[in-house]
Amino acid sequence: MAVAYNVMSARCPSRVVLHRIGARWTVFVVNALEDGPLRFTALAERIEGVTPKVLTETLRAMEEDGLLARVEYAEQPPRVEYGLTDLGRSLLVPLRAVREWAESHVPEILEARERAQAAREN
């Protein structure tokens, strides 16, 4: 019998999973790796605004969670690439839907923020 998980329960391990998926930079890393593995510098360039420290922490956490694989090549100079695992690739569909929703609703969100700001100022 399968274990029933409930993200609304404070002690449910599914909260850890949801936290990883919802972490600020995870979404960007998954999207950046959609077309295949990238080196660290290419990832940093593709994900504008992420610091090297935060990107390193995000990549380590995603690797630990099985969402991406870090591959080291025995070359000179050394080369390391990061790519999505099958588990990580399975996030592309739901994250693509969230991304499309966000990009298509920018005007409404900005208008709502402007109304809220105007209400605070009055």
Residue 105: pLDDT over 90: yes
For the residues 28-49, what does the mean pLDDT come to?
Answer: 97
What's the pLDDT tens digit per position in 46-71?
999 999 999 999 999 999 999 999 99
76 within 8 A of 58, measured Cβ to Cβ: no
- Which pLDDT score, from 0 to 100, does residue 103 have? 93
- Which pLDDT score, from 0 to 100, does residue 1 have? 64
Across the beta sheet with 68-73, the strand order is 38-39, 79-84, 68-73
CA gap 8, 88 in Å, rounded? 23
The rounded mean pLDDT for the chain is 93
